[in-house]
Amino acid sequence: MFKKFADYLFYLLPAPLKKERQKNQFYLFFKVTGRIFDDMKQDILRLRRQRYISTQDKALLEVTGQDRGMFRMRTESIDRFRNRLQMKAIIAELAGSEKGILLAIASLGLQAAIEPLWKTDPARWAEIFIDIQVPEEEGLIDYDSILSEVMKVKQASTLPHFRFTYRTTAIEKVIAVGGICSCIKVQAYVPDRIATRGELQVAATLYMGTQIKIKAGG
C-alpha cells in the first residue's frame, strides 16, 4: 500500500494535520526522516538475501565456501559452485556409498555411472570404474577437482578408476561441380592416460575415450 515510509507516517497523522500535503511541515519532515527508514528496509532485505546460498552475491558466496572448507574450482561457473555448496550436507550424509560418489560428480555438472570390478574379477573387490559422460558443450574439464571431490566421499578401501567419454559430432558439406556430395574430415588425438598432480596420483587412475558421431549431409 505504501512504497515509502514518509507516506506511511503521514497516513498515521490525524486528519486535521494532513492539510496541504506538499506544503505540510510534517510531510516535509517525514520525507527527510523517512529516507533513513527506507535505507534500513533495503539493508534488511539485502541481509535476508545474503543469508541463503541460493541468493547470495558472488563475493559472499566465496566466503561461505571458505567457511565450509570448499573453494571455487578452476573453470567452475558461479552457478555450479553455488549448487555444490547447497549439496554439501546431502553429499556428506551419503559419504562412503556409491550414491554419494555419483552425487558429488553431479554437483560438478557431470553425469556418471559406477561399475564394480568384483563382478568380473573377485580379486579386485575394492576397485571400481567410474564412467563419466562429458557433454559436447562442456569446456575444459578440471580432472584434479573431480578426483578430489570423489576422494572425499568414497569408501576408504575403494580404489576408483575414472573413464571419461567424449562425444563429438562433425558435420561438413562440400558442394562440388556436377553435384552435391559430403566430405567429412575428423582428427582426434586421445591420450591413453591422464596424470594428475599432487599426492592423489597413487590413489586413482584416469582414462579417456572418445566417441565420434558423424552425420553426413547430402
Chain CA centroid to CA 119, Å: 33
Q: How many residues does the chain have?
A: 218
Most distant CA pair in the chain, distance: 94
pLDDT digit string, tens, across residues 67-95: 888 888 777 788 888 888 888 888 888 88
pLDDT digit string, tens, across residues 8-47: 888 888 888 878 777 888 888 888 888 888 889 888 988 8
pLDDT grade, residue 207 (50/70/90)? low
DSSP 46-63: HHHHHHSGGG--HHHHHH
In angstroms, the CA 58 to CA 80 distance is 12
CA distances, 41 to each of 54, 68, 194 (Å): 21, 30, 54
Task: Provide, for the chain, the percentages of residues in helix, strand and coil under a 3-state DSSP scheme, each rounded to the nearest 5.
Answer: 45, 20, 35
Residues near 96 by beta carbon (within 8 Å), at least 6 away in sequence:
153, 154, 155, 156
8 A C-beta contact, residue 164 and residue 141: yes
pLDDT digit string, tens, across residues 136-157: 766 667 788 888 888 888 888 8
In angstroms, the CA 141 to CA 61 distance is 22
pLDDT digit string, tens, across residues 173-204: 544 444 333 333 334 444 444 444 444 333 45
